A and B are shown apart, each in its own frame.
Chain A
Amino acid sequence: MIIHSNHFRSVRFHSAGRQNPMIRRNNLAFVGFALLAIGVGRGVAQPISVSGDDQALIQRHCLGCHNDRTLAAGLSLQGLEVQSVGQIQGEVELWEKVIRKLRTRAMPPPGRPKPTDAEYDGLVARMETAIDAVAMATPNPGRRPAVHRLNRAEYANAVRDLLALEIDARTLLPPDDSGYGFDNIADVLSVSPMLTERYLSAARKVSRLAVGDPALAPSTEIFEIDKYLKQDGRVSDDLPFGSRGGLAIRHTFPVDGEYVVKIYLSRTYDGRLRGLANRHAIEVRIDGRLVETLLVGGPVLDADGHEQRLDYRNSADDGQEVRFTASAGPHMLAVSFVAQAPVPEGMRRPHYAVTSYEYAGDQTLDPSLGRVELRGPYAVTGRGDTPSRRVLFTCRPPADAAAGGPDEAACARDILAGLARRAFRRPVTDADLEMLLEFFHLGREDGDFDTGIEMALRRTLVSPDFLFRRERDPAGVSADTTYVISDSELAARLSFFLWSSIPDDELLDLAERGELRRPGVLEAQVERMLADPRAGAIVDNFGGQWLYSRNMALVAPDPYTFADFDANLRGAMAREMELFLDSQMREDHSVLELMTSDQTFVNQRLAEHYGVPNVYGNHFRRITLAGELEPRRGLLGKGSLLTVTSYAHRTSPVVRGKWLLENILGTPPPPPPPDVPALAENDDGGVAPQSVRERMEVHRANPICASCHRVMDPLGFALENFDAIGRWRTTSDGGTPVDAEGELADGTPVNGPGSLTSALLKRPESFVTTVTEKLLTYGLGRGVEYFDAPAVRTIVREAADDDYRWSALIAGIARSVPFQMRRGPES
């Protein structure tokens, strides 16, 4: 049979999608022969360039809906020639969309005849090769904005690295808006008057804390304890064994002096203290050393030696305070009860959930700590010797130096030159130093050498060169040119990507000497940076946002349905996710193991929740998920993910399905149509309770709904064994057994989390591509666009040789076109 265009015109594409299978098979046979014929000369079995046969494939499977008349989803392929893919700039974005749909087998939609796997893979590979070849010749790195404000986390880390000072940025600065799922997107990070004021105020506080201010007046820091924290055992690794409840907090004491810790116990809902019929001991420790033990409750003897039961209901924590001397700098403040033996046999304590009404009113329960106030400094004795002072004061003027004289100025110049270089991430100019010295003298006037440095530091911290990341265009570039960014800009991109912070001296030195791009240097730096503790920022900021872990602090499971969801469990879930991600990245596993890993971390509270036996104590330890716990392997079994993708009172297979589509498969669904009524809830009256799945039958019954829900819902149903707070269950809300069976959009049957994971990883590059795109968005600070697709494909391809390890992906990103280069500005 001879294939020529006439023949294809005669093949009508019916709207019902039926076609003559005979013709199709024959076409395929001939296509195969033709392909082989082309391939023989090169010794490869597959052709590498898009051909007329690919055009035929598209016509057969796509044009029936995606033509100018029907215009399904607003897309028409009519009149386009896939042979020219990559060559017509205006069409590339469209072809990339096609490629994505074909790669994930999302198109043709369920119910239509699909090409074979070989046809899919072949067509996509050829299209990608064509586009990538053009991209190699004329790369498009996109254009990061020239100015990119540091977000709150980056500000705190920059202060930490600049001054060896830990600050709580959440109290100093407002939260940042996010875009594309991350809060480090340049375009979204705007500046408001309120933020400016906060920067000015933060600069004052940070510089005062870093240098130490002997004239500091006392103030009060309040540390509240979550009222839903169950304080019946050791609650932190920073508290001693044998302690009960309380809190441990790392706090930077501003100066040498005296401080007061005042303790408030938690109260019932009507304001009374608890559990004071017996005596309890509260220990206050600094850096583990016992400062004082306070006693609350219990009987008191009167003048005749008779026991007198005082009414402690409101006053037992009056005057419960400790005054002590502390040196300036970071210290661990710990306040906790001493655990006492439980009540004698025969008397059972009622077990309440902390969220329950009964708990809120019961005075007889053991007391817990409500909040701790740290007041001071009083009787200041000096600035002290703190890490930040050691880092800042790289020299000291001679003792007899004149105030503001040449000796002091010389030392100030030294200090400020080093400070400015690291703060501004570039070589320091004379103008910078002149400006900072002016402020040194201003501060020196009313104080001493140290206050002079403090003032200059304050000025540094509000400078635009500190608060913003700059990327400069070289002279003469326009929107048609692309250029390689400078070494110092690359150094900053690397450090903000991997550490969410400023570059360190080693990076700055390499950049200044122009050596960052020497062969092997970049790779070595990436390796060094990933091994550094600062790389924990990727877990916190990338992982925390991609996996919605930050929302774990904000979710509010319904206290009636999930009475046992206390702050202990909430914290444990968050910590598990942190430790899991951290171990995956630090141990440089394949990113695929995020989904399949049999390792996780639990403490007693979480282990009880998951049904893991024989785990005791508050600290986390690594466990292997085997046997009955197999369904918990990987991300899909993590309590954190399962809870943030649920509603307060029940699971939502749709929310979970949507999350998986967006964040694992990289194919987000379109928004719902307007006026969709709410799903009937189980207590809507009159009807027997049903499982969530049963109530979602309407998604399948209604064809308008089905087109999207057929793709989303099965993903969520497969996870229905995990309830809205991630507990394993075999009975649904409706009392029927959980039905976790379904069929994915590409026809793969699934039943439960294990098979879902396998199905999601059937084409592992899809998952790796999604992770790469997320990492690239996070690393670039801009959304990933269609023209980044060749770079993403290169990264994924190269990482395949290294099992898709984290280091391979990250190094690939660091080497990639969008990371190393930039497009010129629009005129």
Chain B
Amino acid sequence: MSTSAAKPRVATVSLAGCFGCHMSVLDIDERIFDLVDIIDFDRSPIVDFKDFTGRCAVGLVEGGCGNEENVEVLRSFRRNCDILISLGDCATMGGIPALRNLVPTEECLREAYLDGPSVHNPSGRLPNDIELPLLLDKVRPAHEVVRMDYFLPGCPPSADTIWAALTALLTDKPVQLPYELIKYD
């Protein structure tokens, strides 16, 4: 293992989400100093690591899976993390991106690339670029794609919720959220 093996490593990612849950992570404010005392961030936009540097104890997953890349990234989180946490409503139920589940995929793509009022696309074709991951037929919550270990609902989950769950996990205590901390909005 790496030199900082003493400290558990935590990875985070935002898939089909809005980064709001990551903002909420930052909302733990000065407690982040306490956090970095006991953990190292690994792959995460917080430290701008683009890939895993070693095995992680905990992975925080914001967002569900809306395209093939989300699936690949989530699967790599599953392979590289001991414990995976669904962070926020998009990860636990699909969230706002899943609104498109009520519309056929073709209609979504046409609206985005062909028919939308602000679209200028003289080619009249849907883009076919390897840089654009293919959409899934439906946005799926994380646990429908890989096994998830814990769920923190909320849009976003409050900083207190995240703090309570993380500290419990990192100190080997059961993750039990009081009534006030389970919220779906």
**B and A form one assembly:** no
